[in-house]
Structure 1
Amino acid sequence: MGTTTSHFTQDELQEYSDLTYFTKKEIVYVFKKFSELDPDLVSSDKYCRIPKEKICQMPEMKVNPFNDRICRVFSTSRNFDGSLSFEDFLDMMSAFSDQAPKSLKVEYAFKIYDFNEDDLLDAEDIEMVINRLTGSAEPLSEKEMDQLLKNIMNEADLDDDKQLSYAEFEHIISKSPDFLNSFRIRI
């Protein structure tokens, strides 16, 4: 563990701790997990970017139907490839941690579900969310999907504009106590 802590000064660890929901010890552990994704690359450059494909192979991410969207949302890459720097990875792990507040999890869930990235969840976005959640084994029929979308909009679209704003999404999520259980990664 001594070699991992030497990657950061005490000031860096303190700054990361101040900006996340992790202790210094947990940050060192998160860096270890990051390093395990591509040991050679990280050992030669701690500021490297790990490709999305490697991030998505983590056991915690592999089973998540939104793993590519998660990488996209947390990536600060200028070429929008979903690659993650350590700081991106740390932000992602912090937002998914048990210590992160529900409001932060809701904010990131909205971004992850907003496939067309227009700051609204329209029928197309919600259909993509449903398809990912239900899997590809038995897709819903067009009629079933239309009815489900209609039911969702009837319940959540408070201003009847056929799309969900962040406020409407936040309101509907507040009625779902199981949301926090499905939106986390344990370190």
Structure 2
Amino acid sequence: MADEAMTDKAIKPAVKIALEYGPIIAFFVGYVLLKDRTFTVAGTDYSGFVAVTAMFIPLLAVATFLQWRLSGHLSKMQIATLVLVVAFGGLSVWLNDERFFKMKPTIIYLLFAGILGFGLLRGQSYLEAVMDQAMPLKREGWMILTRRLAAFFFALALANEAVWRTMSTDAWVNFKTFGLPLSIFAFFMAQSGLFARHGIAEEEKDG
């Protein structure tokens, strides 16, 4: 019964935002403060970037755990993100190579694009299955939004590859911290016309 009650409990918006974006902001602040420092552990020198990555992994794990404890639920996207952060962040720390962590957004967005694309090939919108309550749309609207989002995720993967391979670490950190979230926000803002055309009114949904 306690688990059921926890499942039904909603997180306050301010707490949810803090848990979702707090680790990202902490990573950015930590990088700004430590990027020019070198840390020696067991005779091995680690850059500030790798050191901050090592701190980011448990911080994200704790934030994700708290979200689960407070809401009783984690989205598949949150779980996949945590797994890939642990895997690629861990590789960066273990091998002392920052490239693995920089590749992580590429893998995440390719994974999401692939999952959505696979559903489209089957004539289904996997996006609808996980976001139906948040954005009530007609089936045609879900299919259009899913196609657009799959293409958008693929574009983000390409953009991340271009940034980390051709630009400085400072540029990539700024891109990851601000560029990616703002791009996602802008994408959904740009879908306002689709929501207006294919949205389901509350009375229609209830009926």
Q: Structure 2-normalised TM-score?
A: 0.33
Larger radius of gyration: 2
Q: Whose helix fraction is larger, Structure 1's or Structure 2's?
A: 2
Q: Structure 1-normalised TM-score?
A: 0.36
